[in-house]
Structure 1
Amino acid sequence: MPVKRPILVEERRALRRWAHRQRPKPTHKQCIEWFFEQYNHRLSQSSVSESLSKTFANLDDPTAIISTSVRVRAGNWPELEAILWQWQLQLERQGGATTGDILREQAKKIWLQLPQATGQECPEFSSRWLEKFKKRHNIKERVRHGEVGSIPDQAEVEMKGLQTVAGEYNEEDIYNMDETGLYWRMLVSRGLLSQSRPSLKKDKARISLALCTNATGTDRLPVWIIGKAKTPRALKNVCISSMGGRWRWNKKAWMNSVIMSEWLQAFYSHVGFTRQVLLTMDNFSAHYTALEISPPPPNIRICWLPANSTSRFQPLNQGIIQNFKALYKRQWLAFTLESYEANIDPQLGMNIRLAIRWILRSWNNEVTNTTIYNCFRRSTLVSTSLALSTPILPPGISELYNQVIKTGNIQDSMAINNFLNPSDENEDGEDIEASPDSILQGIIDEHLGVPATNEEDDEETLSQYTSKDALQAIQVLIDCTETIEGLPTKHIRSLENLEAIFKNLQLQSKEQT
């Protein structure tokens, strides 16, 4: 007689996801067979019925806090606990410590700002609640990340362990994710043209980007762009998902646990629930907290890179991000040069929509698979016996940089490396010293979506084009392509397909009016 075992939370969640995605709705027998194929464990019909019932509906919510125990006990105030838990992690990362009394006091501060608490009496947050909160988040067993990892030998040992894990996966199934900052319209210098507009102080307008790719470069996830405005004017009526990216925002334009939790859910959906993959990340507190909120399905394994050594072992930091930024800034330099040649301040014509277009073009079309693969090998996550050299700067960028300086009559230009890789471009909220209360307030603002003065919303709205305008432009392109000898026919077919799409949109618009 087989030994009975309980259903794990991750297994029950995976079953619900699979069942909800099937059309038509699967029978209990089909669910039993699917579960057996996945986990080599045969469920009873009553277990399937219970797992798919409303009792476990909270497993479908990506923002719900899920315990790793067999039975789910999420707590009465999941949003409050998510904020408090993120604060606890961030404070620990900065070397701070908490007590039970401090946690209870901070919980009361959070409660007073939650919209759902309006008009309700503040809970006691008793000692019993505190113990359950600690148990849910394993606080007693938590280790401060970064202290042990500062020892080089320890990092080497940890990396060898990660290499062993990575050796169990195909190269195309090994992923790395990292964030980077981007000064998307920083000038070479203020120069003579921009000096005439002292009120324009947006040289360092900054966004954050979340990048993820597999080791071969054949599967690059959409870039997540994090700004300060919910919907900048330049993005009005723009569908960024159609462009191939995702837009998120918060008060400080950096990654937090709320956005990271969304990102993880998107990654799980992208990979699916049958393919076995490895995702590697650094143990930034937003990553850690988000993983508590959104644990992976059984087929996805997430491993932390050794602490304090991501510059050595993070694949994206071995040249992929630098190459990507150089490709982006080459487009910005070309735009700057055209503006200077027309005696126009380049910042006046620049906007976040153009920046996103160039970001996605650089990531999807210009960073090569060879660059990505070589950087994964250099990180030693993917083993290699070869010493690989990967060019970071794209061809012609130095000449373009010097041309911008000359045409713009720049008297105080910075070195090109400082322009391409500003020293403070990658600072995030955890690099800034702050008091425990200000850290807590920042986290509350992020969870509640409190807006901030932003660097994207002072831009002019771009012209809005109609389907008729698009059809006329496509016809011009078709006319031009028909005159080019040797051009593959597939390009004309692509334009004709695009033309058909806009004709259909035009027809739908007429029918609605």
Structure 2
Amino acid sequence: MLDRAMNIWVENVTAGGVILTDLLIKEKAKVFAELFGSAPLASLPEERAKLHQLLSRFTPDQIYNIDETGLYYRMPPNQTLSFKPVLGQKKDKTRITVLLGTNAIGTDKLKPWVIGNSKRPRPLSRVNFNHLPVHYRGNPKAWMNSEIFEEVLLDMDRHFRLQNKRILLLIDNAPSHFDPNYHPPEDEMEDLESTSTGTSQNQGRRRRRQPNISRLQLTHVEVAFLLPNTTSHLQPLDAGIIASFKNHYKRNYCRHMLELFEKDINKEKINIKESIDYLTDAWENVTEETIHNCWIKTGILPSSTNEDITDATQAQREKIDDEVANINQIIRELGATEDPRGAVLADAINDYFLDLEKEIPTEDVLDDNDIVRLIQEEMCDGEINEIDSEKEEIQVSLDNALKSIQTWISFFEQQQSDEFNIDDLYIFKKYFKITKRLEFQSKKQIQITQFF
């Protein structure tokens, strides 16, 4: 029924001159699935049984799920610490796509992938990308695409090959997880299901659009695609893991804004580098218990009983409630300050958090202008994207770095708290020596060049 409805809809809208994208088709399919009265829900028990059989070949620490989420990483510019509306300024929709991944017991949270709208944003212009706590990529719309997703899979395969660990990876069948230009050979064709209209019957053949996984030659990652329109029920990341991640991000954002407010610093927005730091911390704070409960909640783990699912669902609900209560407490404290601006900022943060709760697209097909801009960035060989309005990070001099490290070492040595473990002090002294050597080499080079 769904296929028939989609065929009619596509014929109807294309006749009117509408250009369809994969994302639009996918969203429309979801609408029709709901209108047909829980068509996907009817298939959930069967799909869970299939997954039980598949997952039983692996131990829980070998079963992984990855998924993307969209994130408006900062408040609109018309709500700042100056609390003066900026007339005529559009609402800031600066957003990124974040890909998260973890195994079924939460003991291995993968390094996040972040996709921004610039290949090298100004705040990251002086940063060694290899030192970032995330994999950063950029394209004009900050969306996942098949090229980046293939890079994700290859990186995972390399990662687990080095560990000599074979894993099962569950993913949804989003368009970006497929190669739209790939067509299987004739022997991979499948029969089109018969559809009846009155007394006539139409049968045919169709090509399945397959993920171009085979040509990647993955050796340690086995990919399994979840049934369309069931991911909200069967995908662990969608069962509360991403929600917990966003709650921790909200908490970090609240603390950031509260600190600026208390110091009376008028700063309009956080930048992409700060956002990466906050989202990395947020991901680190998603607990193993939360992750494991979300996997159990989906009912796809072979060992999970109905009682386990009920308990995990209740525990996850209580966990989310606690996280939300913690965030609301910070906002209430901000709004209760004697400074009337605190209440204004609290309201602005609440409005921003409503945006964070909305479903944000994480993929689409690039239009001609996007492609041109992407090629221009590649021709610049990684130069900063001039469209990026964020400020460039100031380069730290060797002299300032040395002074800062020395100050920190002195501070460390003066502390009485057991939290400052003296065994950790060698790390700072190590980097002090390295920086000192770099400074010496730099001065030596300057002296040599004076003779020429």
TM-score using structure 2 length: 0.71
Q: Which residue of 1 aligns with 2:299?
A: 380
Larger RCO of the pair (alpha carbons < 8 Å, separation 6+)? 2
* Cα 1:231/1:198, change in 2 over 3 Å: farther
Does the 8 Å CA contact 1:93/1:145 hold for their aligned counterparts? no
Alpha-carbon distance in 1 for matches of 2:260, 2:88: 19
> Residue deviations 1:415-466, cap 9 Å, x none?
9597166353422445xxxxxxx86647855874779x98982112222112
Alpha-carbon distance in 2 for matches of 1:94, 1:402: 52
* Cα 1:445/1:197, change in 2 over 3 Å: same
- 1:511 offset after TM fit, Å? 5.3
- 1:278 offset after TM fit, Å? 0.3
Does the 8 Å CA contact 1:312/1:379 hold for their aligned counterparts? yes
Does the 8 Å CA contact 1:174/1:279 hold for their aligned counterparts? yes
Q: Which residue of 1 aligns with 2:204?
A: none
Does the 8 Å CA contact 1:318/1:376 hold for their aligned counterparts? yes
Q: Which residue of 2 aligns with 1:78?
A: none
Alpha-carbon distance in 2 for matches of 1:285, 1:260: 11
Does the 8 Å CA contact 1:328/1:362 hold for their aligned counterparts? yes
Does the 8 Å CA contact 1:182/1:426 hold for their aligned counterparts? yes
Query: 2:304 is aligned with what amino acid?
Result: T
> Residue deviations 1:403-424, cap 9 Å, x none?
3445433189379597166353
SS for the counterpart of 1:371 is: helix
> Residue deviations 1:81-112, cap 9 Å, x none?
xxxxxxxxxxx999647xxxxxxxx9xxxxxx
- 1:247 offset after TM fit, Å? 1.5
Q: Which residue of 2 aligns with 1:355?
A: 275
> Residue deviations 1:366-408, cap 9 Å, x none?
2222222222222223342321213135373211122344543
Alpha-carbon distance in 2 for matches of 1:196, 1:415: 15
Does the 8 Å CA contact 2:377/2:385 hold for their aligned counterparts? no
- 1:218 offset after TM fit, Å? 2.4
SS for the counterpart of 1:264 is: helix
Q: Which residue of 2 aligns with 1:313?
A: 234
Does the 8 Å CA contact 2:81/2:265 hold for their aligned counterparts? no
Does the 8 Å CA contact 1:229/1:454 hold for their aligned counterparts? yes
Q: Which residue of 2 aligns with 1:398?
A: 328
- Answering whether residue 413 of structure 2 is matched by residue 469 of structure 1, we say no
Query: 2:295 is aligned with what amino acid?
Result: F
* Cα 1:500/1:415, change in 2 over 3 Å: closer
Which blocks of at least 5 consecutive residues in structure 1 are unaligned? 1-91, 98-105, 107-143, 431-437
Q: How large is the Cα RMSD of the aligned pairs?
A: 3.6
Query: 1:461 is aligned with what amino acid?
Result: E
* Cα 1:300/1:478, change in 2 over 3 Å: same
* Cα 1:150/1:498, change in 2 over 3 Å: farther
* Cα 1:298/1:459, change in 2 over 3 Å: closer
Which of residues 317, 323, 347 is equivalent to 1:413? 347
Q: Which residue of 2 aligns with 1:424?
A: 358
Q: Which residue of 2 aligns with 1:482?
A: 413
- 1:194 offset after TM fit, Å? 3.8
* Cα 1:476/1:440, change in 2 over 3 Å: closer
- Answering whether residue 175 of structure 2 is matched by residue 289 of structure 1, we say no
- 1:162 offset after TM fit, Å? 1.3
Which of residues 119, 122, 145 is equivalent to 1:233? 122
Q: Which residue of 2 aligns with 1:4?
A: none
Alpha-carbon distance in 1 for matches of 2:373, 2:272: 21
* Cα 1:201/1:193, change in 2 over 3 Å: farther
Does the 8 Å CA contact 1:222/1:245 hold for their aligned counterparts? yes
SS for the counterpart of 2:101 is: strand
Alpha-carbon distance in 2 for matches of 1:414, 1:303: 42
TM-score using structure 1 length: 0.63
* Cα 1:491/1:172, change in 2 over 3 Å: same
Alpha-carbon distance in 1 for matches of 2:148, 2:81: 40
- Answering whether residue 69 of structure 2 is matched by residue 180 of structure 1, we say yes
- 1:209 offset after TM fit, Å? 0.6
SS for the counterpart of 2:356 is: coil
SS for the counterpart of 1:216 is: coil
* Cα 1:296/1:178, change in 2 over 3 Å: farther
* Cα 1:466/1:161, change in 2 over 3 Å: same
Deviates more, 1:472-481 or 1:294-303: 294-303
Q: Which residue of 1 aligns with 2:426?
A: 493
Query: 2:159 is aligned with what amino acid?
Result: H
- Answering whether residue 289 of structure 2 is matched by residue 370 of structure 1, we say yes
- 1:208 offset after TM fit, Å? 0.6
Q: Which residue of 2 aligns with 1:251?
A: 140
Query: 1:335 is aligned with what amino acid?
Result: H
Alpha-carbon distance in 2 for matches of 1:253, 1:94: 32
Q: Which residue of 1 aligns with 2:183?
A: none
- 1:326 offset after TM fit, Å? 1.5
Q: Report percent identity of matched pairs.
A: 30
> Residue deviations 1:250-291, cap 9 Å, x none?
121110111111111111111117422100111001112284
Alpha-carbon distance in 1 for matches of 2:60, 2:174: 25
Which blocks of at least 5 consecutive residues in structure 2 are unaligned? 1-5, 12-18, 20-27, 181-210, 379-383, 447-452
Query: 1:300 is aligned with what amino acid?
Result: V
Q: Which residue of 1 aligns with 2:49?
A: 160
Does the 8 Å CA contact 2:77/2:91 hold for their aligned counterparts? no
Q: Which residue of 2 aligns with 1:339?
A: 260
- 1:335 offset after TM fit, Å? 1.8
* Cα 1:401/1:241, change in 2 over 3 Å: farther
Does the 8 Å CA contact 1:193/1:408 hold for their aligned counterparts? no
* Cα 1:270/1:450, change in 2 over 3 Å: same
Alpha-carbon distance in 2 for matches of 1:266, 1:95: 39
* Cα 1:278/1:94, change in 2 over 3 Å: farther
Alpha-carbon distance in 2 for matches of 1:420, 1:501: 46
